């Protein structure tokens, strides 16, 4: 499936649960420094477009482009791996929660580096099994996630491709953006079909794995087994789920 096709298939209800998480956004925007012109690659509906700067968006999916609100930055239909811009034409290039979908993330990152002086990316380490063993959702209910990440570049390889540094990003317990890890302290949320439809993982693992995971989670919530196993999470305000910023 090509870059835009997945979100043309699954993206129609994206904006129902996917919106700006301001605490993460402010950290991300700070990393953009004094950049005045910003290219937002894999921009989707534009949740993380920084206010007060000149933004151009790139988004391959027509379904996602159609959900951009009135007044959002102008959006070009293109892919990260082949950005239709001159060398060094932006102060900064950004990518939020998208590079795991790119067919060739290393080429996409080098393209961002080519068109901009500064690069800021929000992503995770696909090869780090540590967080997947720790996060109860992947550990106890959806181990199939590991198969989705086979062959993807590690965080170190991503960072090395553009000479970026990495910084951990904790997820607030009440995170407003419904990405995969967002509900780590609100397990009931994963029982809600609207929540799952806003996250590509659930569609990619297929209906059988999804049904099994949801059924099993529901049983464990009712029986108290989830609470028993995860009692250490209840007092945390923010969780380490392996999410990272790459900053150049
Ligand atoms: C999870 S959404 C994130 C959207 C937005 N950045 C956000 O944080 O809400 C991933 C987006 O990446 C886009 N995408 C997939 N492959 C891409 C590629 N090769 N180049 C650029 N964008 C891509 C998808 O169409 C989708 O809109």
Dump pLDDT digits (tens) for 75-96: 999 999 999 999 999 999 999 9
* Stretches in the chain below the pLDDT threshold 50: none
Reported as type and span, the H/E element at residue 93 is strand 90-96
pLDDT at 9: 87
Residues 6+ apart with CB under 8 A from 226: 136, 187, 217, 220
* CA dist., res. 29 & res. 35, Å (int): 10
- What pTM does this model have? 0.95
**75-76 vs 54-58, strand pairing mode:** parallel
Cα–ligand 1 centroid distance for 199 (angstroms) = 12
198 Cα–ligand 1 center, Å = 13
> What's the longest Cα–Cα distance across the chain?
58
Give the per-residue pLDDT at 133: 75
Counting ligand 1 atoms within 8 A of each CB, the residue from 101, 199, 201 with the most, and so the one to mutate, is 101
- The 10s digit of each residue's pLDDT in 195-221 is 999 999 999 999 999 999 999 999 999
Give whole-number Cα distances, 74 to 40, 46, 125, 169, in Å: 10, 10, 30, 28
Which burial class, exposed, middle or buried, applies to 100 when counting CB atoms under 10 A from its CB (0-12, 13-18, 19+)?
middle
Contact 81, 15 (CB under 8 A): no
């Amino acid at each position: 499936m090509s870059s835009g096709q997945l979100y043309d298939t699954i993206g129609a209800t994206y904006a129902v649960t996917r919106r700006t998480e301001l605490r993460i956004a402010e950290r991300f925007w700070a990393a953009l420094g004094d950049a005045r012109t910003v290219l937002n690659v894999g921009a989707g509906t534009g949740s993380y477009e920084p206010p007060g700067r000149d933004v151009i968006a790139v988004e391959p999916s027509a379904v996602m482009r159609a959900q951009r609100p009135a007044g959002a930055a102008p959006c070009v239909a293109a892919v990260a791996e082949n950005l239709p811009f001159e060398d060094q034409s932006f102060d900064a290039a950004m990518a939020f929660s998208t590079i795991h979908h790119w067919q060739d993330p290393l080429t996409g990152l080098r393209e961002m580096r080519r068109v901009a002086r500064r690069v800021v990316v929000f992503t995770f380490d696909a090869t780090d099994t540590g967080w997947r063993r720790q996060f109860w959702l992947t550990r106890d209910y959806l181990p199939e996630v590991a198969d989705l990440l086979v062959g993807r570049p590690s965080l170190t390889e991503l960072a090395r491709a553009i000479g970026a540094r990495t910084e951990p990003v904790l997820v607030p317990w009440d995170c407003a953006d419904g990405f995969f890890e967002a509900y780590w302290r609100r397990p009931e949320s994963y029982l809600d079909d609207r929540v799952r439809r806003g996250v590509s993982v659930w569609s990619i693992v297929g209906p059988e794995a999804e049904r099994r995971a949801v059924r099993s989670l529901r049983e464990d919530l009712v029986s108290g087994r989830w609470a028993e196993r995860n009692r250490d999470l209840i007092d945390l305000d923010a969780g380490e789920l392996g999410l990272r910023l790459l900053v150049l």
